[in-house]
Structure formats: structure tokens, C-alpha cells
A and B are shown apart, each in its own frame.
Chain A
């Protein structure tokens, strides 16, 4: 079939570029490989140039792939599955980026893009390391390009192309129509991802991911060329760069989770988080042994090991998150795309390459026979690196349970019968069961990593003061001893002071952790001030270690002092069966406009909700009371919101709103809503089941319903409603009423309205009084009446001069004035070039009631118009029919609607139920700023080191 309107060219170009990019990367790999292997011959330059050419072609082709995909996404070409699934006509332009890297193919391209950038820098800067390093990077690029190839070899599919056509990915009757494309519209981007974090977090994280290959490649190059010392310099510089960027990417993920998602925290030990932290930890271990190796010649083997491991764990992380194996252990949902095997091959081949090279060369790696002295810096730095390795291995184990289960079953280990009922056999049995799971990841990882943190804090406090290759320990030890003494004493005092704030309770482990955090803060702080004398270049490592201490402090204050203030034990007590324990009361129900006392003496009041696009925001006010119940003046308003999907069929996200103070945050989000708000289908059913009665409303009337009475105050053509934004061309009317119950003498506003919008249709906006469970709406019968009545009016003309008075239907009307500028008619919308004349009429009714009316005469584009004014209460209408400047007279038209014409039907339902509440979760995070400051200092330390080593004199590249 010949389909109409498809753009096949961008996909074909894109696909051609994918294949070219793959072939060029492969070619580049081989060329760089030969250039390296024949480095002592004349052929090397030729091969190197071919390698560069191949890499250039690969880079250009990959940019071509990226450009084609962007073209398809920005052009909203729904004939492509990628565009159909991820964008829509109404998607703001800035989120096309989010849509681009939301899917696996897009994020592979992002990864590849950064490899190309890094590889290009290395071609220019790496000097003699260029060919071996680029061999590794080009090989990785070959593998990544294969992930998006989408070529079939028999039944085996190599990669998944982003350029698949929608009609090839699914079967639907619609594709039997040649013009199907005109009827298809995009799915759009998940509102959760329409967030600026989603535009900045992935590129940063992927630059971090991508840059781990550089230290890896230098390590391979060092082994390959057997130059075990020379590679350490450039590798260190790149490792520092990578540490700073990858760290920033991970931190951004935490800030995103805390600021914009309803996770209620910044770190949840989720597999996705863990598997990006592990490579960073190993890399940081490598940076430490690299420093040792450069300064002393120790630890070269471990530096190889760590840098090789860091990238391999990046690959493992890619496998975990993209193969679908995490299944039900992660909140991040990843679609398995059948790339599992290819990803396994990726890890396997790189691990094998690294292992073979390492073991075949390990004999030649220089080592120092004599062991490090315990008094030396290198000894404790090496210890620190080992502890970091331990940390990442334990974390990897706890993250890999789904992998172990799969292996266990595949190898038949789950069938082994393990006898005995002692601790060890139970442990082994659980481990091999193939059913292994972590019950509570936060508790599990915190419990283990806490001890790692204690060790790290002690090591960083001590090692900072030690020296490489210590020769005069007997002298130096005094200085270190004094410093450690000061840190211990001050740290102890600070721990005590903090214990009055942080709820350590009687848990000795918490005391130990807090003390070690304070210990390293004091020690490193003292180092920066007294030893480095504030010379930040000298103190980069101390800055990072100080940051680590502050981070620990922040983790403890937020973790232990985190408090759910959204509980109201008193209000909940006795109401609920099975409700026990303070911890369970994390959410509180807030009725609109009713102040609810919640914990810590806050009064929370849910004030209003507003809808904009797909987002419904809830305004909640908090007022704090002191112990005596008086308001302290602390008063703030938060607006958490929920987002509906594009069809308004369900709520897809609940976004928090946070009040920031210097010492703590108050974090809130809407954790539940009335069913009618969550599920518009249910709301419709509920609406349909309501019994509306129709009443005739006339201004001034009182309507008696079954249980209440309602006073009609006004019928207006310029109504107001929270969900209504008036537009030019709208035809609208509304009734303003006040509802009273027989007991409650307070009047509640009840103001339904209706409007016609050209091209959009008619809309009815209901109004409710939740307190009285009244709901009301208007019908188009009323619409007809309000607007048709005017057609049917019979105007009587009165020719008057300024100051004249005439009588109409018992009303005395005085024509007070006519003015060109003083327009008072509120239905009039001014336009450029209008010529206006506004009359002022003073009206006195038979009963003495006084009114004013301001009809308008208007010339717009040479056409005269007469705009009526009305007095709804009396059904009176006035217009200016004619202006005669020669005689100084004006012809006023006057008309009065009949009683029947003035009665507008209004539909009112009682016992409508309440759905004006929200369920709110509110948490206090004390000291959250410490977490951010600490993390940022750690990264700043890395950045300073990188900067210092890049600008230092001497050959580094």
C-alpha cells in the first residue's frame, strides 16, 4: 500500500548513519590497534591516520543519527514509533531533549556522543597514548553502535534501531488506511519527565559514565605498552575529571528525587542509584592508589585494578538497568528491549580483555618488596581504598540479588539440599534459594555502609596529617599526635553538643558514627586552616574529606531527626481499627478551609485548588503555635500538586512542595485524593448518579430546597469561576447565589456558570458548597434564555436631552450625561480605533429602589453598534438607539423582560457528598543543607585537584 504523508527519508538517512557509524568505529578500532602494535615501525603513522579518519567518520555519522532522530522528534513525525511513543503536538520544545534520551536508544546515543567528544580531545592531547587509548574507546563505540543497529541475522536481532516505523512495530486495522497518519497522534511524554531535571541530569550523568572509559583505556594502554609508570600521570588527571562529573551526576539525581519527586528523600538505596555509585566509589579508590603510586611507587597493581574495575562496573550497571533483570526490585521502570545478551557480551568481552592483559603483564609490573610503614600516608590511603572496594562489593552484592537468583536457578544450585537448622546452613540455604530478596533496602544498606563510613571518617582524619615515605616518624608523630588529640577532644565536644539536637537515643552505633564524623570535620578543617593556611590548592583533598564529614553529619541529622508532622494522633484516635504506633500516622486528611492542628503545633489549612494544563495545585497554609497555643508568626504557604495524564483519566504524578529554612526543610506532598479527583471516570459516574432538581431563579428570589435555602443575588454575563479563564468571543453567563442551611446562618457562595467558546463548544462549570453538600450547575436552556430574551425584547424609544427625565413601566429614568471616554459597561472589550459614547442613566423604581445603567454607542470600523446595559434585578434593558449631534438629542431605547423571561433554570443537587479534601504527607528534614554542602565540597575538592593537575607545569598528557 502507498501510504500518504509519511516522511521516510529522515529514517533512511538515520539508519544509513547508524550502519556507517558502526562500520567506521570498527575500522577505527582496527586501525588504531595496528598503529599501536606496529608502533616501532614506519607503518604506525599510516594506521594512526586511518584510525583518526575512521573516528572522524564515526563521529560525523553518529551526529547524523542524533540529528535525524531530533528532526523526527521535533517534526512530530508519528510514522516513527520513537516519536509516536515519546512526543506529542503539545509538548513544549525544551522537553524534546527529555523525550530523546528517555528511551534506551537515545541514552545510548548520548553515551556515544560523550565518547566522541572525549575521544576527539584525546586525539589532540594524548600524544603517544593516542593509539592504544583510542583503540579501547573506538571498540566501546563499536559495541554501543551495535546496540542501535537493528539488523537481523536470521532470527537474531543485533540492536534495536530508533528509526522503526510505527506500522512495523504493531498490528492495527488503522494501518490498512493509506491516510492513517492523519489520524494518529503522539502519546506524549510522561508528565513526570517534563521537568527541567530530566533535561540536565541525564547529560551530566552520561558524561560521567562516558568518562570512566578514559582511566580504563589508559590502564589498558599502560599494560599493553608495558609502561607501568608513565600512564599514571594522564590517568590521574582524567580520573579526577571523571570523579567530579560522575559525582555531580549522581548528586543531581539525589537533588531531583528530593526536590521534584514524591520519594520523600534524596537517597533510597535503589538498584539504579547503587549501580551508579559503585563505579564512582571504585574510581575514587583508584584515585587514591594512583596518588600513592605516583608519590611512592607502591600500589601500581591496585591502580590498574581499580581503574579497570570502575569502567567494568559501569558496564555492569548498564546491564542491570537495561536488561530488565531488576524487574520488581526497582522503582525505576525500565523496558527490556531484548538487549540482555548483547549487554552480557559487552561486559564479558571487556572484562576478558582486561583480565587477560592484566594477568599476562602482571609479572612485569614494578612492585616494592618492602611493605609500607604503618606510619606512612600511603599505608592508610591504601587501606582507605580497600575499604571503598569493600563498600562497593557489599553494595553490589545487595543490588545483584536478582542476578544471583537467576544464576542459582540456571546452575541448579537452588535444588541442592542443605541440611541443618543452624545459622550457617540457613544463611547458605537462603543465598542459594534462587528466591533471595532484600526486605528493606534502606535498613539493609544503611546497616552495612554505616561501618564503612566510620572507617572512612577515621582514615581521612588521620591520613591527611601523615607523610609519604615517612622517614622521621619519631619527630613527626608528635605533630600528628597533637592534631589527633585536638580532633578527638573537639570532636567529642561537638558530638555531645549535637546529641542535644540529633536524636541518637541510646544506640551506641549512632554515637560512634557521629563522633567519627565530627572527628574528621575537625581534623580536616584544622588541616585547611593551620597546615595549608587556607591555600585551597594545597588542601583539595582536605576539602573533599571535610565535605565527607559534613555529608555524614547531614545524613545523620536528616535520617534520625526526620519527622512526619502530618499526623494528628488526637483526631485519629479511636476512629480507626488496627491503627497503632506513631510511625503509621504519616498522612493527615485536610478538609478545605478547616484548620487542622497537626504535630509540632502546626495548624494546616487546605485553602484552594487550581487547575492549569494537566496540573492541579493545592494551596496549603501552615501556621505555627508555641507551647502556649499562641501563633508564633511563622506562617508559610506550600503548593504541592498532582499531574493528570493527557486524557485526564488518571493521576500520574504527585509533586512535592518544600519550605526551605537555613536549618531545616518542610517537605509536603499530596499522598491521596478523593476518588472523584483521582479518577475522572468515577467522578462522572458519581455526577451521573446525583439527583438534580431544577429551580427557576430570578434575581432577588429565595429558593427553598429540601434542606437549605438559597438566595439568588445576581445573574451576570461576566461570571467568575476558579476554572474559567475568559477569552475573547466567549458567550458566558453565571448565577451568583448564597446558600444557607437551616442551622448554619453563614452564607456560602454558590456560583455556577456556563460558557460557549467558538470552535470549542459549550462548557458547564459546576459550583459546590461542600459544607452543605450542595452542588449546582446551569443548562443550555438558561443560556438560550439569557441571550434569546434580548432578541425578543421590544424597545420603546425616548428622545431626550441631557438632564431630561422620562417614565417607563413605572420607572423614572433620568438621562444624566453622555461621555466619550467614561465607559462603564463591563461587557465591552475595547479595541484600537473604537469611537465610543457612554450614557449615564439614573433609574428609580416604583418602590424607590435606585439603579444606574450605562448603555454604550460604538463605532468600530465605520460600523455603528449599540451595546445594551441591563438591571438584572428588574429585568430592565437600556440602549442608545441614535445620537443626533445637530439637535443635541439622544434616542434611548428602554425595555423590560417578562417575569417568565427573567427566570433562569438552575439545577441543584443536595447530599452530593464531599470531595474537597486532600491527604497530605509533611516531613521535616533538619540539616538537609549539610547533605548538599558536604556533597558539593567533596566534588569541589576533586575539581580543584583536577584543575591544579591540568594547569601544573610539566608534561601531564
Chain B
């Protein structure tokens, strides 16, 4: 067997090793029900339920926020995130969370917001003095 073949096999083996060793950081998208069933760390996509107030009081704790989220199955659960409330949070149209269920609460370690882009909200600003 040639050296290069041995090397190629080695490298493939190392690559597989990498992928497997990193598999603890790989997760799947899930909804509240699935997350509660497995208890695993998952990615969860949903929308802010705007009827409920967002709990964030920086005077008490700037590193804690909580809100109600509706997942793609329509289930609503309380979400707790240990971070500051992002600007523009209330306007988000989609929220992607990383975290796991703890009882009835989803504890998130990471959050990503999708906010409406200018293309979608087709408002036209009118010059007020000429309108």
C-alpha cells in the first residue's frame, strides 16, 4: 500500500472522528412537545405572543428576560433567557432559540431574531409639510 493511500485513509478517519466528537454540538429543530419529550438541547423556532407582556426589568436584573412564545404547532410556553433584551425585540416576526425544556419553561441559552425587512413593510414616508 502506498503512503498516500494510508494518509488518505488516516485523514478520512480523522474527519469522521471530528464529526462524531462534535456531534454533541449538533442538534435538531424541534417544537415544545418534542423538546419536552426528549429533554435534549434543541433549536426552536416560534413567534412572540404579543398579548403577554415581555418581562424584563433591568433595574432588578439586567441579565434576565422572559416572554411567551408560540411554536409552529401553536403551543405557547414561557421562555426564559439569561441575557439582556435585544433592541427591537417586540417587532420580531420570528425567534430562533437554542435551549431545552425545564418543566413547563423553555430555558434558552441563545436567541436570534428575524425582523421585518424594508422590502416587506411597504410604507411610504410622506413629507408632512407638503402632504
A interface, CB within 8 angstroms of B: 85, 170, 172, 174, 182-185, 187, 328, 331, 333, 335, 371-372, 374, 383, 386-387, 390, 393-394, 397-398, 423, 427, 430, 433, 435-440, 443-444, 447-448, 451, 572, 575-576, 578-579, 584-589, 642, 647, 650-654, 671-672, 674, 678, 914, 917, 919, 921
Contact yes or no, A333 B118, CB < 8 A: no
Are the CB atoms of B18 and A439 closer together than 8 Å? no
Question: What's the Cα separation between A398 and B96 when bound, in Å?
Answer: 18
Q: Are A174 and B63 in contact (CB under 8 A)?
A: no
Q: Name B residues whose Cβ lies closer than 8 Å to a Cβ of A.
A: 2-4, 7, 11, 14-15, 18-23, 25-30, 41-43, 45, 56, 58-64, 80, 82-85, 87-88, 91, 94, 96, 98, 109-110, 112, 114-115, 117-119, 122, 124-127, 130-131
Of B7, B25, B80, which is in contact with the most chain A CB atoms at under 10 Å from its CB?
A: B25
CA distance A60 to B80 in the complex (A): 57
Which residues of chain B are within 8 angstroms of A654 by Cβ–Cβ distance?
87
Question: Do B22 and A437 touch across chains, with their CB atoms under 8 A apart?
Answer: no
Q: A672 contacts which chain B residues (CB < 8 A)?
A: 56, 58, 62, 84-85
Chain B residues positioned under 8 Å from A440 (CB to CB): 25, 98, 109-110
- B112 contacts A390, C-beta separation under 8 Å: no
User: Which residues from B are CB-within-8-Å of A642?
Assistant: 87
Across the interface, do A589 and B127 meet the contact criterion of CB distance under 8 Å? no
Q: Is the CB of A390 within 8 A of B127?
A: no
Contact call B15/A393, Cβ cutoff below 8 A: yes
Residue from B4, B56, B59, B63 within 8 A of A586 (CB atoms): B63
Please name the 4 residue pairs, one residue from A and one from B, whose CB atoms are nearest each other, closest first: A576-B61, A435-B28, A444-B25, A919-B62
When chains A and B are docked, how far (Å) is the Cα of A587 from the Cα of B85?
Answer: 11
Q: Tell me the nearest residue of chain A to B115, going by C-beta.
A: A333
A805→B75 CA distance, assembly (Å): 88
Instruction: Verify A328–B94 contact, CB threshold 8 A.
Output: yes
Contacts of B62 on A, CB cut-off 8 Å? 587-589, 671-672, 919
Asked whether B88 lies within 8 Å of A651 as measured between CB atoms, the reply is yes
Q: Are B3 and A371 in contact (CB under 8 A)?
A: yes
A and B contact pairs by CB, cutoff 8 A, 17 listed:
A85-B119, A183-B126, A187-B125, A335-B117, A335-B119, A374-B3, A386-B7, A436-B28, A439-B41, A448-B18, A448-B21, A575-B61, A576-B63, A651-B87, A654-B87, A919-B58, A919-B62
A439 touches B43 (CB 8 A): yes
Bound together, the chains give a CA A585 to CA B114 distance in angstroms of 26
The complex places the Cα of A386 from the Cα of B21 at a distance, in Å, of: 20
Which residues of B have CB within 8 Å of A914? 59
Please pick, from B22, B43, B56, B84, the residue contacting A448 in the complex, using a CB distance under 8 A: B22
Q: What's the Cα separation between A589 and B115 when bound, in Å? A: 27
CA distance A32 to B26 in the complex (A): 48
Contacts of B4 in A (CB 8 A): 371
* Docked complex Cα distance between A921 and B96 (Å): 23
Chain A residues contacting B110 (CB-CB under 8 Å) are 440
Measured CA separation A589–B63 after assembly (Å): 10
Measured in the bound complex, the distance between the Cα atoms of B126 and A185 in whole Å is: 7
Report the separation of the CA atoms of residues A486 and B114 in the bound assembly, to the nearest whole angstrom. Answer: 54
List chain A residues, Cβ under 8 A from B118. 85, 187
Q: Are B122 and A451 interface neighbours, CB within 8 A? A: no
Known: A183-B126, A333-B117, A440-B110. A430 touches B18 (CB 8 A): no
Are A437 and B84 interface neighbours, CB within 8 A? no
Given contacts A333-B117, A654-B87, 9 further A-B contacts (CB under 8 A): A185-B125, A185-B127, A447-B25, A576-B60, A586-B63, A588-B62, A642-B87, A652-B88, A919-B84
Q: Are B11 and A390 in contact (CB under 8 A)?
A: yes
Q: In the complex the two chains form, is A439's CB within 8 Å of B117's CB?
A: no
Q: How far is the CA of A919 from the CA of B87 in the complex (A)?
A: 12
A383 in contact with B7 given A575-B60, A578-B80 (CB within 8 Å):
yes
Q: Is the CB of B19 within 8 A of A430?
A: no
Do A437 and B61 touch (CB < 8 A)?
no
CA–CA, A870 to B119, complex, Å? 58
Considering the chains assembled together, what is the distance between the CA atoms of A427 and B28 in angstroms?
A: 11
| B residues less than 8 Å from A331 (CB atoms) | 112
Task: Give, as a whole number of angstroms, the nearest-CB distance from B30 to chain A.
Answer: 7
**Given A185-B125, A578-B80: A328 and B45 interface contact (C-beta under 8 Å):** yes
| A187 vs B120: C-alpha distance when bound (angstroms) | 13
Q: Is the CB of B26 within 8 A of A394?
A: no
Give the complex CA separation of A589 and B58 in angstroms.
7
CB neighbours (8 Å) of B28 from chain A are 430, 433, 435-437
Distance, CA A436 to CA B26, complexed state (A): 7
B58 lies within 8 A of A674 (CB): yes
| Contact indicator B88/A438 (Cβ below 8 Å) | no
In the bound assembly, the distance between CA atoms of A664 and B4 in angstroms comes to 45
Q: Shortest Cβ distance from B75 into chain A, in angstroms?
A: 17
Residues of B contacting A187 with CB < 8 Å?
A: 118, 125
One of B84, B119, B130 near A671 (C-beta < 8 A): B84
- Residue of B with least CB distance to A386: B11
- Taking CB atoms, residues of chain A closer than 8 Å to B42 are 437
Flag if B63 contacts A585 (CB, 8 Å).
Answer: yes
Residue among B59, B61, B122 making CB contact with A170, cutoff 8 Å = B122
Chain A residues whose CB sits within 8 angstroms of the CB of B131 once the complex forms? 183
Q: In the complex the two chains form, what is the Cα distance from A779 to B61 in whole Å?
A: 38
Is A579 a contact of B64 with CB atoms below 8 Å?
A: yes
Quick one: closest A residue to B87, CB to CB?
A651
Name the A residues within 8 Å of B26 (CB-CB): 430, 436-439, 444
Do A435 and B64 touch across chains, with their CB atoms under 8 A apart? no
Smallest CB separation, A116 vs chain B (Å): 29
Nearest CB of B to A436, in Å: 6
In whole angstroms, what is the CA distance A435 to B115 when docked?
A: 22
In the complex, what distance in Å separates the CA atom of A408 from the CA atom of B124?
41
* Among candidates A182, A184, A371, A439, residue contacting B25 with C-beta atoms closer than 8 Å: A439
Contact B59 A917 (CB under 8 A): yes
> A587 to chain B: which residues have CB within 8 Å?
62-63, 84
Would A444 and B22 count as touching, CB distance under 8 A? yes
Q: Which residues of A contact B124 (CB under 8 A)?
A: 172, 174, 184
**Quick one: closest B residue to A328, CB to CB?**
B96
A174 — nearest CB in chain B belongs to which residue? B124
Shortest distance between the CB of A922 and any CB in chain B (Å): 12
Question: Contact: B58 with A397, CB < 8 Å?
Answer: no
**Nearest chain B residue, comparing its CB with the CB of A678:** B87
What residue of chain A has the Cβ atom nearest to residue B109's Cβ? Answer: A440
Q: Which residues of A contact B59 (CB under 8 A)?
A: 589, 914, 917
Query: Most A CB atoms within 10 A — which of B2, B20, B114, B124?
Result: B124
A674 to B2, CA, bound (A): 68
Which partner residue on chain B sits nearest A679 by CB separation?
B90
Q: In the complex, how many angstroms separate the beta carbon of B40 from the nearest chain A beta carbon?
A: 9
Q: Would A183 and B130 be within 8 Å (CB), given that A335-B117, A440-B110, A572-B61 are in contact?
A: yes
What residues of chain B lie closer than 8 Å to A435, measured between beta carbons? 28-30
Cα A371 to Cα B126 with chains together (Å): 74
Tell me whether B127 and A439 are in contact (CB under 8 A).
Answer: no
B85 in contact with A427 (CB, 8 Å)? no
Contact A328 B41 (CB under 8 A): no
A444 to B23, CA, bound (A): 8
